[in-house]
């Protein structure tokens, strides 16, 4: 499967790219608004993987080129870049492309981080509003620590919650998630439930900031 990570030069993009390259055989493409930055980061990821005995080829392109003919496009960008990013790659998306959103809107004050709910209801629903008609959208990977993902010395043991309307798209993202060793994916229902899923992220970050033994904290459900 070909996975394009638009904004794959950032923290969550790096973590997902390294885990998928390390644990699976999927083809990975790193996207960025700056193609040179994408190529540089792709080379860095490749070097890290080679140092661990993993032979892989990760390529870097401008976002639209990265998304071209991808089976899955992950929007690894901050929420304030979501709309522009989707518009920039829209003509490369079709009904056979799964669009995945891990972004969470947050705001900070003296008490810590808080969920910043957009007018669409959630960032995932905003992606669905902006995406071309017929392109399935799945929300996933919101609560994962980017630093923990990128550190391949850490063994994962946590869950990620999926929201979406298209069952085939959900099945694809479920398989992608569980291809990462130690990660389990659970359905949290339709896109209307995305706000509840996304709001876990500021809670986890606040927990980590107030408890020294909870850096990189994740969630598991029993």
**Residues 194, 187: contact at Cβ < 8 Å?**
no
**pLDDT tens track for 58-89:** 999 999 999 998 999 999 999 999 999 999 99
**pLDDT tens track for 81-102:** 999 999 999 999 999 999 999 9
Owner of token pair 């030069």: 9
What pLDDT was estimated at residue 214? 76
Dihedral angle, C-alpha 60, 37, 77, 108, nearest 10 °: 160
| Closest among 113, 127, 213 to 164, alpha carbons compared | 127
Burial 110-128 (b: 16+ CB within 10 A, else e): eeebebeebebbbbbbbbb
Q: What is the DSSP letter of 56?
A: -
pTM of the model: 0.96
Ordered alpha helix ranges (H), the chain:
11-23, 35-50, 63-67, 82-89, 123-130, 146-150, 167-178, 194-198, 200-210
Residue 180: strand pairing partners: none
The CATH superfamily holding the domain 2-214 is NAD(P)-binding Rossmann-like Domain (3.40.50.720)
- Could you tell me which residues come within 8 angstroms of residue 131 by beta carbon, excluding any fewer than 6 positions away? 86, 90, 93, 99, 137
| Closest among 117, 20, 114 to 70, alpha carbons compared | 20
Phi, psi of 76 (to 5 degrees): -85, 55
Q: Please give the residue that has the higher pLDDT: either 217 or 210.
A: 210
Euclidean distance between the first and the last CA atom of the chain, given in angstroms as a whole number: 31
State the pLDDT confidence band at 212, using cuts at 50, 70 and 90.
confident
């Amino acid at each position: 499967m070909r996975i394009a990570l638009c904004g794959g030069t950032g923290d969550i993009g790096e973590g997902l790219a390294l885990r998928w390259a390390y644990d699976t055989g999927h083809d990975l493409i790193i996207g960025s608004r700056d193609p040179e930055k994408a190529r540089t980061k792709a080379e860095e990821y490749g070097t890290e993987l080679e140092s661990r005995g993993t032979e892989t080829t990760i390529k870097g392109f401008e976002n639209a080129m990265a998304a071209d003919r991808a089976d899955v496009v992950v929007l690894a960008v901050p929420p304030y870049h979501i709309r522009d990013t989707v518009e920039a790659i829209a003509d490369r998306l079709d009904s056979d492309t799964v669009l995945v959103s891990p972004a969470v809107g947050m705001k900070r004050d003296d008490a810590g981080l808080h969920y910043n709910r957009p007018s669409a209801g959630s960032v995932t629903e905003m992606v669905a509003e902006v995406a071309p008609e017929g392109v399935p959208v799945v929300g996933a990977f919101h609560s994962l620590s980017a630093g923990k993902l990128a550190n391949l010395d850490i063994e994962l043991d946590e869950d990620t919650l999926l929201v979406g309307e298209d069952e085939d798209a959900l099945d694809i993202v479920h398989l992608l998630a569980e291809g990462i060793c130690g990660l389990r994916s659970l359905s949290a229902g339709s896109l209307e439930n995305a706000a509840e899923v996304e709001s876990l992220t500021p809670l986890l970050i606040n927990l980590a900031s107030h408890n020294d033994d909870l850096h990189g904290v994740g969630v598991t459900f029993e």
